[in-house]
Amino acid sequence: MKNQTMMQYFEWYLPEDGSFWRRCREQAQALKDAGVNMVWLPPAYKGAGGKSSVGYDVYDTYDLGEFDQKGGIATKYGTREEYTAAVKELQAQGIAVLTDIVLNQMMGADETEEVTAVEDQSCNREQPLSGAQQIRVWSKFTFPGRSGKYSAYQWSAANFSGTDWDEAAKRKGIFCFAGKTWNRETDPENVNYDYLMGVDLDTDCPETVKAVTDWGKWYLDTVRPDGMRLDAVKHISFDFYREWLKNMRAYAGRNFFAVGEYWASDLQRLLHYLDVTENSMALFDVPLHFKFLQAATSNGQFDMGSLFENTLVKARPEQAVTFVDNHDTQPGQALSSFIPAWFKPIAYALILLRKDGIPCVFYGDYYGIAHDNVPRTAELDVLLKLRQSHAHGGQIDYFDHASVVGFTRTGDMEHPDAAMAVLVTDSDAGSKRMKVGEQCAGSVFYDALGHHPALVTIDGEGCGEFPVNGGSVSVWIRQPEDGTGSPSERANNEGADNS
């Protein structure tokens, strides 16, 4: 599929009214029209927080909003029937659906158990703070509200490596269960970052692996997603998802797309993970996100010419999912690193209009975040249209200046009139001579975003001197002969209901 465009179709503070899956279904046509052909939906199964759960506090993966558990039947997003109906409608519109898979941790256990455990240092999970001690932990999952439907399997301390709460002493800590070890290869933060929260899955336990494999097959049969977003992959044995995905793809009979969340700004950690997992998935380009943040908060002192250095999209473009922000980076969240509003159009132009990577648009940027009075990024409608109409063919980079940088797209045989020049700056206004192709000689180009009023005439060598305002982005395309039907006009007309 050419020019795949993903949208993370949720943000953290969606209303807890159970209406979201219905909204997904109702918006399927609008998403298709906007140029989105892949959506990442939030975790659909019942969390420990019931209707208040965003989905990452995993309780029962078999409960998709069907059983009276954790205070009600529906999840925050709605019922199982509404969820599967939304998936089907999105797919009917030609939109691939990625489901959020959260397997590393479980929460909200139904009963406690007495276990022997060793407490480890928080900053060095390989260094014990105590000898073996008896603690009481929330690790028994019996799912009484489901009564064994779909699976009679119940979870106990044998399935987990450790936890962070001793119920008997009412005390927090990092407790590794006796006879267990943290997974041998995980992210090196805290020396070993296997443990994240809740009770940590022991993927060295064959029964645990069988349980999540059996569930995965049931989920594929029940929901029939087109792919998966894998949560917190750095906190689980690096070989786990490699083998689990092999099993899931073999069962499904297709090599479906998967993207993992490995939250690290160090490119080498991402490349190592891809190597160990035999390139079985893509990863979100976290290093690029932090480059955007640095550029947006350096008062014009960031070297824009180095923007893509040490990013996944440059090192492994075929396995990079580029993004600007997500539910974890939005205001108020643990990984909050929200890109300032002025830089958002620049960042989105740099992921949506280039040839490498699969760009992911954040729901909170497309619709706004009412909880924090964050407005939508208005330019997104136009940029998505331009990705469909003009992000084709060859690419010529002009990342040769500390502030004013850009690139051109030259079109291809299917899109001969799709030449485009993109220029951005994190500082003062400027201009750059860039080539869009000799086939454009004599053509007049205008800024499709409407940021700059100039018109640029292409010379006989296929080049033009393209300007950009200070702290802004301009996207230059051929002026329509009749002056109508430009991407900005179409987006303004068609995207009015997104504001």
Return the CATH number at 439.
2.60.40.1180
pLDDT at 495 over 60: no
Q: What confidence category does residue 489 fall into, taking pLDDT thresholds of 50, 70 and 90?
A: low
Looking at the fold, whether 183 and 295 belong to one and the same domain comes out as: no
Of 315, 230, 325, give the one whose Cα is nearest residue 272: 315
Looking at the fold, whether 269 and 347 belong to one and the same domain comes out as: yes
pLDDT at 329 over 90: yes
Looking at the fold, whether 169 and 308 belong to one and the same domain comes out as: no
- What per-residue confidence (pLDDT) applies to 480? 86
Helix (H, G, I), strand (E, B) or coil at 222: helix
Average pLDDT (309-331) is 97
Average pLDDT (372-394) is 97
pLDDT at 291 over 60: yes
Is 134 contained in some domain?
A: yes
Q: What confidence category does residue 207 fall into, taking pLDDT thresholds of 50, 70 and 90?
A: very high
Looking at the fold, whether 35 and 88 belong to one and the same domain comes out as: yes
Average pLDDT (259-286) is 98
Average pLDDT (70-95) is 98
pLDDT at 463 over 90: yes
Of 493 and 34, the one with more pLDDT = 34
Neighbouring residues of 366: CB distance < 8 A, sequence distance ≥ 6: 7, 376, 377, 380, 498
Q: What is the number of other CB atoms lying within 10 angstroms of the CB of residue 187?
A: 23
Query: Catalytic positions, please?
Result: 231, 261
Predicted confidence (pLDDT) per residue in 93-111, tens digit: 999 999 999 999 999 999 9
- What per-residue confidence (pLDDT) applies to 467? 98
Asked whether 221 and 97 are in contact (CB, 8 A), the reply is no
Encoding tokens for residue 278? 């035999």
What is d(CA 195, CA 236) in angstroms, rounded to the nearest whole number?
8
Looking at the fold, whether 73 and 211 belong to one and the same domain comes out as: yes
Domain of residue 461 covers: 395-498
Looking at the fold, whether 121 and 245 belong to one and the same domain comes out as: no
- What per-residue confidence (pLDDT) applies to 494? 43
Average pLDDT, the chain: 95
- What per-residue confidence (pLDDT) applies to 440? 95
pLDDT at 482 over 70: no
Looking at the fold, whether 249 and 342 belong to one and the same domain comes out as: yes
Of 75, 57, 62, give the one whose Cα is nearest residue 21: 75
Asked whether 144 and 110 are in contact (CB, 8 A), the reply is yes
Ranges 154-168, 326-340, 482-496: which has the least confidence: 482-496
Say what the pTM is. Answer: 0.95
Q: What confidence category does residue 14 fall into, taking pLDDT thresholds of 50, 70 and 90?
A: very high
Average pLDDT (293-317) is 98
Predicted confidence (pLDDT) per residue in 152-205, tens digit: 999 999 999 999 999 999 999 999 999 999 998 999 999 999 999 999 999 999
490 burial level (CB within 10 Å; 0-12, 13-18, 19+):
middle
pLDDT at 497 over 80: no
Question: Which of 167, 201, 235 is the C-terminal boundary of a domain?
Answer: 201
Looking at the fold, whether 372 and 486 belong to one and the same domain comes out as: no
Q: What confidence category does residue 481 fall into, taking pLDDT thresholds of 50, 70 and 90?
A: confident
Average pLDDT (448-454) is 97
Number of domains in the chain: 3
Amino acid at 324: V
Looking at the fold, whether 79 and 197 belong to one and the same domain comes out as: no
Q: What confidence category does residue 499 fall into, taking pLDDT thresholds of 50, 70 and 90?
A: very low
pLDDT at 496 over 60: no
What is d(CA 241, CA 246) in angstroms, rounded to the nearest whole number?
8
pLDDT at 483 over 70: no
Predicted confidence (pLDDT) per residue in 112-158, tens digit: 999 999 999 999 999 999 999 999 999 999 999 999 999 999 999 99
Average pLDDT (462-468) is 98
Question: Which of 201, 221, 240 is the C-terminal boundary of a domain?
Answer: 201
Looking at the fold, whether 232 and 348 belong to one and the same domain comes out as: yes
Looking at the fold, whether 459 and 417 belong to one and the same domain comes out as: yes
Is 1 contained in some domain?
A: no
Looking at the fold, whether 348 and 484 belong to one and the same domain comes out as: no
Question: Which of 390, 419, 448 is the C-terminal boundary of a domain?
Answer: 390
Average pLDDT (446-469) is 98
